[in-house]
Amino acid sequence: MPHCRFWPINVPMRIIKIGLPFVKVNSMTSVAPRKSPGPGRPKDMEKRAAILAAAKALFIRNAFAGTSMDAIAAAAGVSKLTVYSHFGDKDNLFREVIRSRIHDLLPEEIYAFDPAVDIGDTLRAIATAHMHIDCQAENVGTFRAILSDCRQGNPRYGKLLWEEGPARTHRLMGELLQKAVAHGALDIPVVETASVSSSR
């Protein structure tokens, strides 16, 4: 008779990992392993938002060259390592500040065509958003920071401003006008010309 080993009834069975999605606890119970939290947790997003807010304020005040990653980390209340883990380097952080600011000022939602809404109201809302960009001191400070960086030999940020600003709004306006024409809300012979003129 082959040798058999019996487990004493009054001795708890050890947890045995067998490489499957579940681990054996005893003959009656199985428990799923805990999953490690992945990226994009709410706390991470809060830190990212705090870093962007601090960087935006410092870039506006001191321009690109006068702003250090140490100062941004201190203003955001995080470590410098956290700043680097989110954005890589100061160039990428500056780029994200520009992109985030422009998208806050001109969200894609205001260019959405809704047949139930008067097209005149939609166009007035877009015009108002553009007017606020030109009149608010904070926005002027953002653009001055970008222009200051361009004068120091970094025109790529000016290019980014163009891509995220006029080029993006030109595309969004073109899509809006095309849909309005298709639904009979507007009569525009050449949508491309009208979208360029209205997005400047």
User: In the chain, what are the domain boundaries?
Assistant: 42-198
Would you mind telling me the total number of residues written for the chain in this entry?
200
Q: With bands split at pLDDT 50, 70 and 90, how would you rate the model's confidence at 42? A: low
Does the pLDDT value for residue 200 go beyond 70? Answer: no
CATH ID of 42-198, from 2.40.160.40, 1.10.760.10, 3.30.450.70, 1.10.357.10: 1.10.357.10
Q: How distant, in Å, are the alpha carbons of 1, 47, 49, 91, 128 from that of 56? A: 79, 14, 11, 13, 23
C-alpha 72: how far from chain center = 18
**pLDDT at residue number 112:** 95
Instruction: Take residue 119 and report the two structure tokens written for it.
Output: 């097209």
**pLDDT at residue number 152:** 67
Mean pLDDT on 11-15: 46
Which residue intervals of 112-167 are DSSP H helices?
A: 119-135, 137-151, 156-162
- The whole model's pTM is what? 0.63
pLDDT tens-digit profile of 54-71? 998 998 888 788 899 999
Mean pLDDT computed over every residue of the chain: 78
**pLDDT at residue number 21:** 44
Coil/strand/helix, residue 33: coil
Instruction: Please give the residue that has the higher pLDDT: either 108 or 199.
Output: 108
Instruction: Please give the residue that has the higher pLDDT: either 23 or 150.
Output: 150
**pLDDT at residue number 11:** 47
**pLDDT at residue number 113:** 96
Does the pLDDT value for residue 175 go beyond 50? Answer: yes
